[in-house]
Amino acid sequence: MTEIKRNISKVKGFKVAGVHAGLKADGALDMALIYSETPCVAAGVFTTNQVKAAPVLVDQETLAKNNTHIRAVIINTKCANACTGQHGLDNARLMQRWTAARLGIGEDEVLVMSTGVIGTQLDMAKIECGIALAVDGLGDENWEAAARAIMTTDTRPKFHSIRMVAGKGQEYRRNLAGIAKGAGMIAPNMATMLGLLATDAYLEPNEIQNTLKRIADRSFNRIVVDGDMSTNDTLLLLANGHKDDLLAYHPVAFPIHAAYIAENLARDIVRDGEGATKFITLRIDGAPDNETARQIGNAIATSPLVKTAFYGGDANWGRIIAAAGRSGVAVDPAKMSLTFQSDDGKDALKLFEGGVPTQYDESAATALVKADSVTVILDCGMGSESATIWTCDLSHDYISINGHYRS
């Protein structure tokens, strides 16, 4: 038996801060610090972009040396510290060192995340000042401030938390908080997707990386805003539960609860996608395997024509079938069927089957597409595997936001 309490305000042993270091011109919060009073088992999943930002390289290096006593994560906005060469790497390491010094911990116990414009160097005077302010500002209940401090073109902070209770006698009671930023997922210039999960549960050092990978596959790896991939994408998991505390370890319940939080953060990112007016759940059924289902789903979710049709409230299913057709998978239109469904699952309308459109009611199809959120189910008729992708439409606001991002 499992119980859940949502929207808790703190996670045992963690102190966090969101401060203004002068990086954002408008006085908004622009640096965040996550600190654990005791060592954390930690893991990270990072962008697969060949062009990796300096903080990504530094975190990969740090976690390779030490994933059992991570103590802090320092995060800045406005500058991605990507395409910054050796100088950028030196600066990322300096952020580690300064944070460690202020907190009285080791350099290898600090991870770094950056987000913002590519190709400019960090303003290290402001970064140093921000680190001092953040250390001074640490508190138990500052999660939402931290979430706010990592925003770029995000219009709202993304913070979810949960108390997990599992076991007959409810022996396992642990807390989990997650913050993320995204907006233009995945927008290289914004070095976009950053996420952090912090828990007072215990996780085995040799299990945590796989656990985080599975959590990411069920959440952040399911979302598409524009198909671009950041140089900075990073998701970190910090677990400060003690290994001798038997009640802190629940390898079955934890991934489920963590995926729930990560899913909520990922959906928030899509809902707050740059210029997004519509939340689209894309379910690819009847695939030979999950990877193939994802490949088809990604082709649809990144199609400008599919996305603009949803923006226009046009039930233009032909674009979905055509995008599946160019996905690189040997789909057969005669075996496919396409259904639009309302988000509550009450209304469903099959539009295409056996290679031809059904005799569907165009006004009913339009009504489904005009809603704030819609589920699209494409059955490929090639097997029994599925994948779900969350995406949004492509609107005039996306063009406006990204046509002049740097100015």
The residues assigned a catalytic role are 192
241-300 residues in contact with its own copies (CB under 8 A) are none
Which residue type occupies 159? F
> What's the closest the beta carbon of residue 32 comes to its own copies, in angstroms?
23
C-beta closer to its own copies: residue 245 or 291 = 291
Pick from 330, 345, 359, 384 the residue near its own copies by CB under 8 A.
330
Binding to its own copies (CB under 8 A) within 131-150 occurs at none
**Which of 106, 357 has the CB closer to its own copies?**
357
- Asked if residue 220 binds its own copies (CB under 8 A), the reply is no
Using DSSP's 3-state secondary structure scheme, residue 241 falls into coil
Contact criterion met (CB below 8 Å) for 280 and 287: no
Strand pairing partners for 389? 282
- Nearest distance, CB of residue 48 and its own copies, angstroms: 7
**Cβ–Cβ under 8 Å, residues 161 and 7:** yes
CB 76 within 8 A of CB 127: yes
Residue 312 binds its own copies (CB under 8 A): yes
Site for its own copies in 46-65 (CB under 8 A): 48-52
Our CA angle for 69, 216, 174, nearest 5°, is 55
Within 335-374, the residues that bind its own copies by CB under 8 A are 352, 354-357
Q: Are 313 and 406 in contact (CB under 8 A)?
A: no
Report how far residue 65's alpha carbon sits from residue 58's, in angstroms, rounded to the nearest whole number. Answer: 11
Q: Smallest distance, Å, CB 248 to its own copies? A: 38
- Give the C-alpha separation, 242 to 237, whole Å: 15
Q: Token pair of 167, please? A: 């076991």
Which residue stretch of 144-152, 169-177, 205-213, 325-333 sits at the interface with its own copies (rule: CB under 8 A)? 325-333
Q: Name which position in 40, 112, 118, 149 contacts its own copies (CB under 8 A).
A: 118
CB of 382 to its own copies, least distance (A): 11
Rounded (5°) CA angle 200-235-399: 140
Does residue number 318 form part of the binding site for its own copies (CB under 8 A)? yes
* Residue 177 CA from chain centroid, whole number: 14
Q: How far is the CB of 274 from its own copies (least distance, A)?
A: 10
Among 295, 308, 373, 386, binds its own copies (CB under 8 A): 308
Q: Does 325 bind its own copies (CB under 8 A)?
A: yes
**Partner residues linked to 147 by β-bridges:** none
CA 16 – CA 320 distance, rounded (Å): 44
Question: Within 142-201, which residues bind its own copies (CB under 8 A)?
Answer: 184, 187-189
Among 119, 139, 251, 383, binds its own copies (CB under 8 A): 119
